[in-house]
Amino acid sequence: MAARPDTPGTLRGILLAIFVLGAVGTAGELLLVGHFEDPWQWLPLGLLGLALLALVAYGVTRSRPALQAFRGVMVLLPPSAVVGLMLHFRANVEFALEGHPDLEAGALIWEAVQGTAPPTLAPGAMILLGLAGLGYTYRHPALSARGETNTKTKGAGA
């Protein structure tokens, strides 16, 4: 009988690939558009850099602290996205009011949400990256009590 694939390990690998591709792509785009004019704009770049650094450290050392550091950064990504959404929205409200100072609340909000400079909803990508990273660390063998996989989650032939 053929051995069953390690489904949790396969899914963990897929989530890691999604995170790494998304983080590298997002950081690259932020650098290309010059997303470092003020300290708040450094926040997503710094968090993505720390996350990738922690992953490299884990890849080299396979240490539990490196993976815990990665998980800690992942917990910070969704709140950073909320901050980014608010900052982008605020910038778009200011821009909309410059061109149309007579806009009322509903129309102003609609203009701000549709804004493209900066794109209002772009920081939402940080939520998805954080969730992918947390999914990667969920029940990760390196984070278990003894660094071993829970035997209840293994197949009978494993």
* Within a domain: 134: yes
Domain that holds residue 64: 8-142
Q: State the total domains in the chain.
A: 1
Instruction: Provide block-wise average pLDDT over 10 residues at a time, the chain (158 residues).
Output: 78 97 97 94 97 98 97 98 96 93 93 90 97 97 68 36
pLDDT at site 117: 84
pTM confidence score: 0.84
* Within a domain: 151: no
pLDDT at site 148: 44
* Within a domain: 2: no
pLDDT at site 150: 41
Are 124 and 85 in contact by the 8 Å Cβ rule? The answer is yes
Q: How far apart are CA 53 and CA 42, in angstroms?
A: 16
